[in-house]
Structures are given as structure tokens and as C-alpha cells.
């Protein structure tokens, strides 16, 4: 009896030992996550609440929130992000519908070409735009030559519109990808039956095609909004006068003015905004998943 | 107003005021040819469907039957020929202007719409008044026995229920023509049998409705259709009233495709005096069959007899009897199916009511058939 109890005790102890040894493997990745992802954010939060004397205070954050530069940057960020997202949704929807429902030779190649924009650095498009719409770009050079002008007539690239155009070009594929995937999964016979029942193309588009693609459009749109809110390279590269967004303001405060408390305070707001949008994106994705599961069942 | 829009407006107006039991519309394919690139899918198809008639279009895969239906619906444009619905040439009209109802294999219900919205779709697209929409939705759902499902989404319905909603949706617009494209193929056997009966009842309730029914299921075609057209390789291989096509197939393909008839190679003799039959020599055995006016004495021909028209005999002396050896025997519950080898190496199929003493494989057996059940087909038409 004593032997059995002894064996049992040894076995339990051995299993517990194995469990501890197994758990030990979790520690290194947790340290890496803490060091790479959590600690930098903690530093930002701590800096945001540290005043010039090194004391913990709300004052630096309140000063930033009350500043005109922050308000302007917040408005610019939201305006540009919303305008770019809206433009991406319109252009992406139109292109996706054409590529999906009006087949033409080479459509797959063109769709892939647009898709590759996802892989390109964002400022690259801006660089290319300076050759087209910039002061010395093709359009201005052509117009100045043709109309004998002294100054370049097309200047929109160096305004918020230039940022919107560049962001629209870069982020439209983020709308097209999920949308074209949704269209490819759509039952074409639904469109045909709708048409046979008397639905004209515009009616079928509004009542059959768009509702079917709405979850994909919302997912693409919210991802697009998230990315445009945080866009830095395009805004910096264009260097438009008066177009200061939150990421650019953080850069200015931290690098040019060495005002780290202000930079971190703005960064906290930027993070909160991003997390809010990311939560929205995840909620939409989850809802799409549920709807799809319901259809399958 | 462009011609298509004008035609659409006129047909939609007519559809809204059309009564469920109104007189039907003739549909005509007039030398219709459809090609994808260099590949001809439908070749010079000429076929008409009488007002209020159900015409079943059957044929093997790739025969062009679905393409013909899609051309009638307006999803495929012929490269030659005309398609008429009533007196209207609809060849170049868009689908929405043709005034047709369509039901497809996978139902194609709109998943984001409730049953009520699905059924109302066509009427709303035609801008029908709301009172009419309400009345039509209710009557169409009642017609298919789905009145209690107004607020359900398609995903909350079974396959059979979804197909009923699809039919109600097609009927709600009071179409001139109803197109059914393999409508029961996705259903299981029991539900399919019930749905065939329901479709037959539906057509009795709507006698004026002209229906084109594309199917690969011969039972559906024979049960529902007034006439059957068989397509092969894009061409019309045969068409006739269902019973006539089954009883007197005009060619080998029709005989084999519809009901898998047995075909015996025979040489024709003369008329059997005092009867409508002719004599046919099958390896020395003289068989009697219905005369075919296109065939003459001495011609080689195919004698067509259906598996269930062959009767097993033992030790009895009958006319029209051939001998063979049982190769295989299968019991299907409500029937026995036998394959029997004949002297000339040909094999015939026999379907019989369950046999009390089924013959064992290898047994020599006599097969009898009535002359009136045998048809002669020209050999060159094979």
C-alpha cells in the first residue's frame, strides 16, 4: 500500500515538474513581447504624464490637448482620412465592379497590377506624382509651354488634395481586394434572376450586388480609414503647407522641437484613435464571419 | 425612349395587369445559332412552345439545352436567328424587358432579403403599386404553400422550401413565360418527387402559363411536359408530344436517351396481312412491329422495344418471342432488372415486376413483346 502511495506521489511530482518545465518556455516570448511591444508604449504613456521637472503631471497632456496645433492636426487627420477613404471606396467599388462583371482581355493582369500597390512603400507614389503633377512635372511643364505661363498653374499636389489623391492611389487596392473576393464568391445566378424579374442593371446593382458586398466594403473601408489616419510618409513627402496631421505633428514635436512630452501626449491620442478604428475593423470582420457561418448553416 | 426601354415599359405594364389564369404566350426559336468564339453551342435551333404548354428540353451534358434557355432569358445573344415571345422579337432585348420568370437549380434567392422581400423583388423592380405587391406576394406564397414564411430569411428554410419561394418569386410578376432550369436537381429524391407533383398541380392552376423546363431527369420531363424536345450536340435531335416520343421514338438517339430502349438490328419483310404490323427478321426469328412509312421491305432497321415491354416466358409458345441467356439480375425492391444476351451478341434490358422465381444467371429464357409496343427506326437515322 505504502509502495503504491509512494509511486503515485512520485508520478504526481514528476507531472508537476514537467508542467513547470513546459511553462518555462512561455517566459522568453513574453519577455520579447514586453520588451518590443509593451515597454515602448509604457514609456510613451509615462512621458506623456511627465512635466519639465520630471514629475508626474496631467498638465503636459492638457496643454497639448488645448493647443491650436493639436486641434488643427486632429481636424486635418480626420478630414484627410475620411476624404481619402471615401475616395478609395468610390474608386475601388467602381473598379471592382468593372473588373468583376465586365470582363475584358487582360482584366486579371490589370487587377493584379493594382494589387501590387499594396506591396509598395507609400511615399513612392508621391514621388511619382511629383513627376506628373509637381511644379516641374509633366502637366505643369506642358501647360506652361503651351500657354506661355511664368508659373506652374497646377498646384494642388502641395495641398490636402494632393495628400488625398496620393492616399487614394495607394489605398484603393485595400478596398478592391475584399470587394473583388466578395464579388467572385457571389452567385451569378442571383444577378441573372434579378435581371429576368425586371431589374434593370442599376436596380440590380443597388439591391442585389451592393448588399452582397457590403460586409467586404465595410471591412476594406475601415482598414483603409485606419491606415490613412496613421499615414506619415505621404504627408511628409508632399510637405504641403499647413497640412499637419497627427503623425506629422508627433514627428515635429519629437524630432524638431525635442518636446517629447507633447509628442507622447499626441501619440497617445493617435493610439486611442487607431485602436478605436481597429476595434471597429475587428467587429466588422467578426460580423462578416458570423453572417457567412449563418449562410453556410 | 429607346426601343428596349419602350418594350420593357410595355411588357412590365402588361405583366402588372395580367391575370394568373390569362391566355398563354407562344415562344419560338427560329433558326437560332449560338456560338462562343469558334465553338457552336446551339446550331440552327427551330422550336416552338405553344401557349400554356410545358415543353421539356432534355439532352446530355453539353447538348446546348441550358444555353437555349439562357438565350430565351436574354443572357446569351444568338449570332443568328430570332427568338420570339408572342409576336415580339426579343432577340436583342435585355433580360429585364422580356417579361419572363426564371427558377434555377440553386434557387438564387437573395440571402439578405426576407421571403416577403424576395417574392416582391420583381414587382418592386417594376415599380408596382404597394397594394398590388402585397396582394401578389400573398397569393404567390399561397400558391406554393408558403404563406407562413413571410418573415424568414432564405438560410432559415430547407432546400425544398427555398425552391418553393423561388417559384413564388418567379410567378409573382405574372410572367408570360416561366423558365425552369434544372429546378429540382439540388433536392433529394423524396422532395424532388413531391415537387414534381406540386409543379404539375401549379400548372393545372395556371393553365395559361407557357413553361420551358430544362432537365436531365427523364421522369420529371415525362411527368410534367406536354411535349419533349431532345437536344444533341447543339441540334434538335427529336421533339414530339411526350407520350408519342416515348412510344414511337423517331431515331436511335431519342430511343436510347429517353428511356434507354432496346434496339435490335432487323431486316424488314412485308406487311402482316390484316394487321398494321410489318414483319422483321431478327437472326431468323420473325418479329412483328408497328409499320414505319419511311421504311420499305428489305431495308435494314432497328426494332425498338422498351425494357418494361419485354415479358419473360417459360415453355409457352408465343409470337414475337426471342431467346436469350440471363447475364445479370438485380432486385430493386419494386422491380427486377435483367440483362439478357441474345444470339447475335446484342444485349437487351428487361424490367419486370418482382419475380417470384427469378431466373439464375446463365438460364436460357424466352422474351415476348406485343407488336404494338415495338417501333421500327431507320438504321441510317442511328
Q: What is the pLDDT of residues B7-41, one digit of tens each?
A: 555 455 555 555 544 567 999 999 999 999 889 99
Mean pLDDT of the region B184-206: 85
Angle at A122 (CA atoms; ends A116, A127), nearest 5 degrees: 105
Q: Is A196–B12 a contact, with Cβ atoms under 8 angstroms apart?
A: no
- Collapse the DSSP code of B263 into the 3-class scheme (helix H, G, I; strand E, B; otherwise coil) and give the result: strand
How do residues B278-298 score in pLDDT, each as one tens digit?
Answer: 999 998 889 999 999 889 898
Q: What's the pLDDT band for B242 if we cut at 50, 70, 90?
A: very high
Percentage of the residues of chain B whose pLDDT score is greater than 90: 64
Q: Which residues of B touch A (CB under 8 A)?
A: 8, 12, 15, 73-75, 94-96, 98-104, 106, 108-112, 121-122, 125-126, 155, 166, 169-170, 173, 179
**Domain C-terminal end among A28, A48, A68:** A48
Q: Looking at the domain assignment, is residue B307 inside a domain?
A: yes
- Do residue B79 and residue B102 come from a single domain? yes
- Do residue B193 and residue B327 come from a single domain? no
A26-30, B101-105, B311-315, B350-354: range with lowest mean pLDDT: B311-315
Spatial CB neighbours of A256, under 8 Å, sequence gap ≥ 6 = none
- Do residue A29 and residue A65 come from a single domain? no
Q: Which CATH number do you get for residue A219?
A: 1.10.3720.10
- Do residue B235 and residue B113 come from a single domain? yes
- Do residue A31 and residue A85 come from a single domain? no
Q: Looking at the domain assignment, is residue A216 inside a domain?
A: yes
**Cα–Cα dist B55/B88, whole Å:** 20
ipTM (interface predicted TM): 0.82
Task: Determine which of B72, B75, B90, B95 to mutate to test the interface with A (most A C-beta atoms within 10 Å).
Answer: B95
Q: Looking at the domain assignment, is residue A119 inside a domain?
A: yes
Q: Looking at the domain assignment, is residue B79 inside a domain?
A: yes
User: What pLDDT is recorded for position B59?
Assistant: 93
pLDDT higher than 80, residue B46: yes
Mean pLDDT of the region B196-221: 90
- Do residue A36 and residue A88 come from a single domain? no
Please give, rounded to a whole number of angstroms, the shortest distance from the CA of A224 to a CA of chain B: 25
- Do residue A41 and residue A125 come from a single domain? no
- Do residue A80 and residue A154 come from a single domain? yes
Please give, rounded to a whole number of angstroms, the shortest distance from the CA of B115 to a CA of chain A: 14
**Of the partner residues A187, A199, A294, the one whose CB lies closest to the CB of residue B125:** A199
**Cα–Cα dist B98/A198, whole Å:** 8
How do residues A81-109 score in pLDDT, each as one tens digit?
Answer: 999 999 999 999 999 999 998 878 888 88
Q: Is B100–A199 a contact, with Cβ atoms under 8 angstroms apart?
A: no
User: What pLDDT is recorded for position B1?
Assistant: 44
Residue in chain B lying closest to A188 (CA): B108
**Domain C-terminal end among B222, B247, B272:** B247
Angle at B69 (CA atoms; ends B68, B73), nearest 5 degrees: 120
User: What pLDDT is recorded for position B66?
Assistant: 95
- Do residue A43 and residue A182 come from a single domain? no
Please give, rounded to a whole number of angstroms, the shortest distance from the CA of A183 to a CA of chain B: 14
Q: Looking at the domain assignment, is residue A232 inside a domain?
A: yes
How do residues A106-128 score in pLDDT, each as one tens digit?
Answer: 888 888 888 788 888 888 888 88
User: What pLDDT is recorded for position B27?
Assistant: 96
Q: Please count the other Cβ atoms lying within 10 Å of the Cβ belonging to residue B368.
A: 16
Residue A242: phi, psi to the nearest 5? Answer: 75, 0
- Do residue A78 and residue A120 come from a single domain? yes
- Do residue A208 and residue A116 come from a single domain? yes
Mean pLDDT of the region A5-15: 67
Q: Which CATH number do you get for residue B105?
A: 3.40.50.300
- Do residue B94 and residue B124 come from a single domain? yes
- Do residue B202 and residue B291 come from a single domain? no
Q: Looking at the domain assignment, is residue A274 inside a domain?
A: yes
**Domain C-terminal end among B247, B270, B300:** B247
- Do residue B39 and residue B164 come from a single domain? yes
User: What pLDDT is recorded for position A51?
Assistant: 84
A287-291, B250-254, B333-337: range with lowest mean pLDDT: A287-291
**Cα–Cα dist B148/A106, whole Å:** 49
pLDDT higher than 90, residue A157: no
Q: What's the pLDDT band for B382 if we cut at 50, 70, 90?
A: very low
- Collapse the DSSP code of B80 into the 3-class scheme (helix H, G, I; strand E, B; otherwise coil) and give the result: strand
User: What pLDDT is recorded for position B9?
Assistant: 52
User: What pLDDT is recorded for position A277?
Assistant: 85
- Do residue A23 and residue A156 come from a single domain? no
Q: Looking at the domain assignment, is residue B113 inside a domain?
A: yes
- Do residue A129 and residue A103 come from a single domain? yes
Q: Which CATH number do you get for residue B374?
A: 2.40.50.140
- Do residue B361 and residue B280 come from a single domain? yes
Q: Looking at the domain assignment, is residue A266 inside a domain?
A: yes
Spatial CB neighbours of B68, under 8 Å, sequence gap ≥ 6 = B29, B32, B34, B42, B45, B47, B57, B214, B231
- Do residue A41 and residue A160 come from a single domain? no
Which structural domain range is residue B295 located in? 260-381
Q: Looking at the domain assignment, is residue B254 inside a domain?
A: no
Question: Looking at chain A from residue 175 to 234, which residues have their Cβ under 8 Å from any Cβ of chain B?
Answer: 187, 189-190, 192-200, 203, 207-208, 211-212
Domain count, chain A: 2
Q: Is B104–A192 a contact, with Cβ atoms under 8 angstroms apart?
A: yes
Q: Looking at the domain assignment, is residue B253 inside a domain?
A: no
Mean pLDDT of the region B218-239: 94
Q: Looking at the domain assignment, is residue B198 inside a domain?
A: yes
- Do residue B307 and residue B198 come from a single domain? no
Q: Looking at the domain assignment, is residue B240 inside a domain?
A: yes
Q: Looking at the domain assignment, is residue A163 inside a domain?
A: yes
- Do residue B213 and residue B71 come from a single domain? yes
- Do residue B240 and residue B281 come from a single domain? no
User: What pLDDT is recorded for position B318?
Assistant: 72
Mean pLDDT of the region B259-284: 89
pLDDT higher than 80, residue B315: no
Q: Is A287 on the interface with B (CB under 8 A)?
A: no
Q: What's the pLDDT band for B381 if we cut at 50, 70, 90?
A: very low
pLDDT higher than 80, residue A21: no
Q: What's the pLDDT band for B76 if we cut at 50, 70, 90?
A: very high
- Do residue A181 and residue A267 come from a single domain? yes
More confident residue, B138 or A288: B138
- Do residue B299 and residue B240 come from a single domain? no
A53-57, A244-248, B35-39: range with lowest mean pLDDT: A53-57
Mean pLDDT of the region B137-157: 92
**Domain C-terminal end among B218, B247, B276:** B247
Domain count, chain B: 2
Which structural domain range is residue A36 located in? 1-48
Q: Looking at the domain assignment, is residue A53 inside a domain?
A: no
User: What pLDDT is recorded for position A111?
Assistant: 80
User: What pLDDT is recorded for position A296?
Assistant: 39
Residue B313: phi, psi to the nearest 5? Answer: -125, 150
A81: phi > 0 → left, psi -120 to 50 → alpha, else beta; which?
Answer: alpha
Q: Looking at the domain assignment, is residue A282 inside a domain?
A: yes
- Collapse the DSSP code of B230 into the 3-class scheme (helix H, G, I; strand E, B; otherwise coil) and give the result: strand
Q: Is A297 on the interface with B (CB under 8 A)?
A: yes
User: What pLDDT is recorded for position B32?
Assistant: 97
Please give, rounded to a whole number of angstroms, the shortest distance from the CA of A184 to a CA of chain B: 15
* Residues of B with Cβ-Cβ distance to A193 under 8 angstroms: 102-104, 108, 166, 169-170
- Do residue B224 and residue B332 come from a single domain? no
**Cα–Cα dist B249/B255, whole Å:** 5
Q: Looking at the domain assignment, is residue B255 inside a domain?
A: no
Please give, rounded to a whole number of angstroms, the shortest distance from the CA of A182 to a CA of chain B: 14
CA distances from B322 to A178, B111, B181, B287, B325 (A): 68, 59, 42, 9, 10
Amino acid at each position: 500500500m505504502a509502495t503504491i502511495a509512494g509511486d503515485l506521489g512520485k508520478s504526481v511530482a514528476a507531472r508537476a515538474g514537467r508542467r513547470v518545465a513546459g511553462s518555462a518556455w512561455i517566459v522568453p516570448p513574453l519577455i520579447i513581447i514586453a520588451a518590443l511591444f509593451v515597454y515602448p508604449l509604457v514609456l510613451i504613456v509615462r512621458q506623456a504624464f511627465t512635466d519639465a521637472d520630471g514629475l508626474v503631471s496631467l498638465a503636459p497632456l492638457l496643454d497639448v490637448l488645448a493647443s491650436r496645433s493639436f486641434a488643427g492636426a486632429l481636424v486635418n487627420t480626420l478630414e484627410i482620412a475620411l476624404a481619402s477613404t471615401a475616395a478609395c471606396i468610390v474608386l475601388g467599388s467602381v473598379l471592382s465592379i468593372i473588373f468583376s462583371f465586365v470582363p475584358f482581355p487582360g482584366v486579371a493582369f490589370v487587377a493584379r497590377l493594382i494589387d501590387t500597390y499594396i506591396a509598395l512603400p507609400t511615399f513612392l507614389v508621391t514621388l511619382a506624382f511629383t513627376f506628373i503633377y509637381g511644379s516641374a512635372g509633366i502637366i505643369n511643364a506642358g501647360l506652361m509651354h503651351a500657354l506661355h505661363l511664368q508659373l506652374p498653374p497646377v498646384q494642388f499636389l502641395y495641398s490636402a488634395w494632393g495628400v488625398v489623391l496620393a492616399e487614394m492611389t495607394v489605398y484603393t487596392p485595400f478596398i478592391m481586394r475584399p470587394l473583388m473576393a466578395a464579388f467572385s464568391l457571389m452567385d451569378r445566378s442571383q444577378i441573372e434572376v434579378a435581371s429576368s424579374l425586371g431589374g434593370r442593371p442599376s436596380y440590380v446593382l443597388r439591391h442585389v450586388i451592393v448588399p452582397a458586398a457590403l460586409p467586404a466594403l465595410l471591412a476594406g473601408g475601415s482598414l483603409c480609414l485606419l491606415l490613412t489616419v496613421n499615414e506619415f510618409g505621404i504627408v511628409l513627402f508632399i510637405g504641403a503647407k499647413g497640412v499637419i496631421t497627427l503623425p506629422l505633428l508627433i514627428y515635429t514635436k519629437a524630432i524638431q522641437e525635442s518636446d517629447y512630452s507633447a509628442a507622447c501626449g499626441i501619440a497617445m491620442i493617435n493610439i486611442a484613435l487607431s485602436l478605436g478604428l481597429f476595434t471597429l475593423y475587428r467587429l466588422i470582420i467578426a460580423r462578416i464571419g458570423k453572417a457567412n457561418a449563418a449562410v453556410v448553416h | 425612349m429607346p426601343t428596349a426601354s419602350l418594350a420593357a415599359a410595355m411588357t412590365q405594364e402588361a405583366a402588372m395587369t395580367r391575370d394568373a389564369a390569362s391566355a398563354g404566350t407562344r415562344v419560338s426559336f427560329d433558326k437560332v445559332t449560338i456560338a462562343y468564339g469558334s465553338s457552336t453551342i446551339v446550331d440552327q435551333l427551330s422550336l416552338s412552345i405553344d401557349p400554356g404548354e410545358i415543353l421539356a428540353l432534355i439532352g446530355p451534358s453539353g447538348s446546348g439545352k441550358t444555353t437555349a434557355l439562357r438565350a430565351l432569358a436574354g443572357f446569351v445573344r444568338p449570332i443568328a436567328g430570332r427568338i420570339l415571345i408572342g409576336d415580339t422579337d426579343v432577340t436583342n432585348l435585355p433580360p429585364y424587358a422580356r417579361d419572363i420568370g426564371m427558377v434555377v437549380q440553386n434557387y438564387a434567392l437573395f440571402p439578405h432579403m426576407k421571403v416577403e422581400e424576395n417574392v416582391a423583388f420583381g414587382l418592386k423592380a417594376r415599380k408596382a403599386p404597394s397594394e398590388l405587391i402585397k396582394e401578389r406576394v400573398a397569393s404567390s406564397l399561397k400558391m406554393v404553400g408558403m404563406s407562413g414564411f413571410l418573415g424568414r430569411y432564405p438560410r432559415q428554410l430547407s432546400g425544398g422550401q427555398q425552391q418553393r419561394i423561388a417559384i413564388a418569386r418567379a410567378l409573382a410578376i405574372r410572367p408570360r413565360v416561366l423558365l425552369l432550369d434544372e429546378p429540382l436537381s439540388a433536392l433529394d429524391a423524396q422532395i424532388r418527387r413531391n415537387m414534381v407533383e406540386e409543379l404539375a398541380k401549379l400548372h393545372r392552376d395556371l393553365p395559361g402559363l407557357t413553361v420551358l423546363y430544362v432537365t436531365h431527369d427523364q421522369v420529371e420531363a415525362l411527368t410534367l411536359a406536354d411535349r419533349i424536345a431532345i437536344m444533341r450536340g447543339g441540334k434538335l435531335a427529336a421533339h414530339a408530344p411526350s407520350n408519342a416520343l416515348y412510344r414511337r421514338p423517331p431515331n436511335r438517339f431519342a430511343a436510347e436517351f429517353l428511356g434507354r430502349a432496346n434496339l435490335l438490328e432487323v431486316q424488314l419483310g412485308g406487311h402482316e396481312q390484316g394487321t398494321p404490323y410489318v414483319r422483321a427478321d431478327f437472326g431468323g426469328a420473325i418479329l412483328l412491329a408497328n409499320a414505319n412509312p419511311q421504311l420499305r421491305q428489305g431495308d435494314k432497321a432497328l426494332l425498338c422495344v422498351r425494357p418494361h415491354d419485354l415479358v419473360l416466358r417459360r415453355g409457352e409458345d408465343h409470337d414475337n418471342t426471342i431467346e436469350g441467356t440471363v447475364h445479370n439480375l438485380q432486385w430493386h425492391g419494386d422491380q427486377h432488372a435483367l440483362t439478357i444476351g441474345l444470339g447475335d451478341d446484342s444485349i437487351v434490358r428487361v424490367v419486370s415486376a418482382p419475380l417470384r422465381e427469378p431466373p439464375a444467371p446463365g438460364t436460357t429464357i424466352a422474351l415476348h413483346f406485343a407488336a404494338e409496343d415495338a417501333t421500327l427506326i431507320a438504321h441510317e437515322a442511328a
